[in-house]
Amino acid sequence: MGADFFSVRWRGQVQPQYSQEYTFYANTDDGVRLWVDGRLLVDNWVNQGLTEKSGKITLEAGKKYDIRLDNYDYDLGAQAHLSWSSASQAKQVIPAARLFTSPAGLSGTYFDNANFTGPTTSRADSP
């Protein structure tokens, strides 16, 4: 798989510390879609330089919620950062202690194109 023209799908769970509305921020180079608890919060599937998009959802403290982030890189400088904030919590990259799938990290499936088809590589990515 090359450094450009690929897509990745990360899946895991997130566990909030507070019962309140959270804002999730996806800061990516090229397209991004973010689902939390099955709800599409960010849908920005376009070629672009590093851009931040956000969406809001109310979550319950201590409960684990499914999270999925799809990202594709068209060309030049692939980046993806996922942050969150709430009334009780300043904006921050989601800490590893609040992300779950395996002890090694989030499940990442990489594709050699932007449409999530064909050959893949899977691994556990560090949060």
| CATH code, domain with 30 | 3.90.182.10
Is residue 49 exposed (0-12), middle (13-18) or buried (19+ Cβ within 10 Å)?
Answer: exposed
Establish if 38 belongs to a structural domain.
yes
Establish if 1 belongs to a structural domain.
no
Taking CA atoms, 102 is separated from 17, 33, 39, 58, 105, in Å, by: 20, 22, 23, 25, 5
For the chain, which ranges sit under pLDDT 70? 1-4, 102-106, 119, 125-127
pLDDT on residue 102? 54
pLDDT on residue 3? 59
What is the rounded CA–CA span in Å between residue 48 and residue 42?
15
Its pTM stands at 0.79
pLDDT on residue 55? 98
Establish if 24 belongs to a structural domain.
yes
Residues 102 and 94 sit within 8 Å (Cβ to Cβ): no
Domain count, the chain: 1
**Structural domain range at position 52:** 6-125
Establish if 52 belongs to a structural domain.
yes
